[in-house]
């Protein structure tokens, strides 16, 4: 990204250097270029004439070398100075996984807030949320192997487009024909299902209901 930004900025400065405009307008154009490429702007030294719109620009190679030297490095600060650094990295990734699990439980699994008052109901809700989290992790592992570009959260959002509906059709003898169906998936979702090597269950056969059944005529 930095290289792409620097390439664009260098091309823009070359265009502006060949443009004949008033000094005030040139300052505005340079300001716009700086706003678009703020990260790479500080890698370029610009000297502008005090009276005209002419300017000279050069690449500050010392700053570029300093930035490249620090690219791809991540520093951890800890008071566990006697531990093996590899073990510290393992602890750190375990912490990241725990934080992600907490985020999933509170967000995707909706474990918070808890409105139950009895202890057994609270434990039951937490247990169900834990089972859902296990499925969440299983899906993430499957995606890592078969569809590495997707996350579990985005995949669940795509699957949310499939809905289960009950169609009640009245018959002439006073009964109702009950059809439980799931909606047809879009081509993109069908491709994802195929990529994950999954298969939707067959549609349930129709049932004949008697007595008082809530009507939802669709």
Overall domain count for the chain: 3
Residues 166 and 102 in one domain: no
Distances from the Cα of 33 to the Cα of 8, 22, 55, 121, angstroms: 9, 17, 14, 59
Q: Residue 140, exposed/middle/buried by CB under 10 A (0-12, 13-18, 19+)?
A: middle
Q: How confident is the model at residue 108 (pLDDT cuts 50, 70, 90)?
A: low
Question: What's residue 110's pLDDT?
Answer: 64
pLDDT at 214 > cutoff 60: no
Domain membership of residue 23 (yes or no) is yes
Among candidate residues 70, 101, 126, the one where a domain is terminated:
70
Domain membership of residue 76 (yes or no) is no
Domain membership of residue 77 (yes or no) is no
Domain membership of residue 89 (yes or no) is yes
Residues 105 and 140 in one domain: yes
Residues 147 and 181 in one domain: no
Residues 121 and 150 in one domain: yes
pLDDT at 213 > cutoff 50: no
Domain membership of residue 205 (yes or no) is yes
Q: What is the mean pLDDT of residues 40-54?
A: 86
Name which of 133, 136, 150 is nearest 196 in CA terms. Answer: 150
Residues 66 and 47 in one domain: yes
Q: What is the mean pLDDT of residues 194-218?
A: 74
Residues 153 and 193 in one domain: no
Q: How confident is the model at residue 217 (pLDDT cuts 50, 70, 90)?
A: very low
Domain membership of residue 170 (yes or no) is yes
Domain membership of residue 214 (yes or no) is no
DSSP string for the chain = -HHHHHHHHHHHHHHHHT----HHHHHHHHHHHHHHSHHHHTTEEEEE-SSSS-EEEEE-HHHHHHHHHHTT------S-TTS-HHHHHHHHHHHHHHHHHHHHHHTTS---S----SHHHHHHHHHHHHHHHHHHHHHHHHHHHH-TT--HHHHHHHHTT--EEEEEEE-TTS-EEEEEEEPPPPHHHHHHHHHTT--PPPPPPPEEE-S-------
Taking residue 154's Cβ as centre, other Cβ atoms within 10 Å add up to 11
Among candidate residues 158, 183, 199, the one where a domain is terminated:
158
Question: What's residue 106's pLDDT?
Answer: 67
Among candidate residues 141, 158, 175, the one where a domain is terminated:
158
Residues 43 and 107 in one domain: no
Residues 185 and 149 in one domain: no
Residues 154 and 166 in one domain: no
Q: What is the mean pLDDT of residues 63-80?
A: 76
Range of the domain at 187: 161-209
Residues 175 and 143 in one domain: no
Residues 176 and 192 in one domain: yes
């Amino acid at each position: 990204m930095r290289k792409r930004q620097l390439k664009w900025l260098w091309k823009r400065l070359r265009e502006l250097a060949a443009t004949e405009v008033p000094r005030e307008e040139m300052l505005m154009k340079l300001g716009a270029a700086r706003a678009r490429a703020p990260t790479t702007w500080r890698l370029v030294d610009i000297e502008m004439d005090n009276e005209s719109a002419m300017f000279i620009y050069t690449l500050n190679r010392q700053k570029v070398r300093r930035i490249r030297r620090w690219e791809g490095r991540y520093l951890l600060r800890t008071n566990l100075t006697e531990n093996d650094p590899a073990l510290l990295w393992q602890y750190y990734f375990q912490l990241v996984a725990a934080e992600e699990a907490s985020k999933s439980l509170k967000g995707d699994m909706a474990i918070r807030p808890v409105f139950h008052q009895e202890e057994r109901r609270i434990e039951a809700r937490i247990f169900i949320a834990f089972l859902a989290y296990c499925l969440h992790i299983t899906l993430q592992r499957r995606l890592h192997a078969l569809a590495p570009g997707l996350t579990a959260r985005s995949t669940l959002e795509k699957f949310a487009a499939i809905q289960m509906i009950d169609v009640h059709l009245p018959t002439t003898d006073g009964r109702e024909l009950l059809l439980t169906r799931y909606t047809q998936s879009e081509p993109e979702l069908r491709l994802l299902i195929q990529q994950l090597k999954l298969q939707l269950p067959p549609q349930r056969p129709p049932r004949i209901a008697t007595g008082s059944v809530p009507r939802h005529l669709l």
